[in-house]
Amino acid sequence: MSIKHMYYRLYQGAFRIAVKFLDWTPPQTITGAGSVKKLPVVIKEKGLNKMMIVTDKGLMSLNLLDGLFDGLKKEGVDYVVYDKTQPNPSIDNIEEVRKLYLDNKCQGFIAFGGGSPMDCAKAAGARVVRPNKPVQKMRGQLKILKKLPPFFAVPTTAGTGSEATLAAVVTDTKTHEKYALNDPNLRPKYAVLDPELTVGLPPHITSTTGMDALTHAVEAYIGHSNTKETSEKAEQATKMIFENLEEAYKDGKNIHAREQMLLASYYAGIAFTRAYVGNVHAIAHNLGGFYGIPHGLANAIILPYVLDYYGDTAYERLARLSEFAGVAKSGQSDEEKAKAFIQEIRDMNARMNIPDKIDKIQESDIPTIAQRALKEANPLYPVPKIMDLEDCMGVIRQLMA
Q: Please write the tens of the pLDDT for every residue from 250-270.
A: 999 999 999 999 999 999 999
* pLDDT beyond 90 at 176: no
| Domains of the chain and CATH, by start | 24-198 (3.40.50.1970), 203-398 (1.20.1090.10)
Res 1: pLDDT = 78
Report the candidate in 111, 139, 118, 143 with the shortest Cα–Cα distance to residue 129.
143
Tell me how far apart the alpha carbons of residues 286 and 257 are, in angstroms, rounded to a whole number: 31
Distances (CA, A) of 394 to 283, 309, 359, 381, 398: 12, 10, 16, 19, 6
pLDDT digits (tens, 9 = 90+) for 307-341: 999 999 999 999 999 999 999 999 999 999 999 99
Largest CA distance in the chain: 65
Res 175: pLDDT = 87
pLDDT digits (tens, 9 = 90+) for 47-106: 999 999 999 999 999 999 999 999 999 999 999 999 999 988 999 999 999 999 999 999
What are 361's strand-pairing partners?
none
pLDDT digits (tens, 9 = 90+) for 7-54: 999 999 999 999 999 989 999 999 999 999 999 999 999 999 999 999
* pLDDT beyond 90 at 206: yes
Report the candidate in 170, 349, 327 with the shortest Cα–Cα distance to residue 249.
349
Total residue length of the chain: 401
Cα Rg, the chain, nearest whole Å = 20
Asked if 368 and 263 count as a contact pair (C-beta separation under 8 A), the reply is no
Summarize the confidence of residues 117-131 as an average pLDDT: 98
Give the whole-number percent of the chain exceeding pLDDT 70: 100
Asked if 180 and 167 count as a contact pair (C-beta separation under 8 A), the reply is yes
pTM for this prediction: 0.95
Tell me how far apart the alpha carbons of residues 191 and 266 are, in angstroms, rounded to a whole number: 9
Give the whole-number percent of the chain exceeding pLDDT 90: 95
Res 5: pLDDT = 96
* pLDDT beyond 90 at 177: no
Tell me how far apart the alpha carbons of residues 140 and 378 are, in angstroms, rounded to a whole number: 11
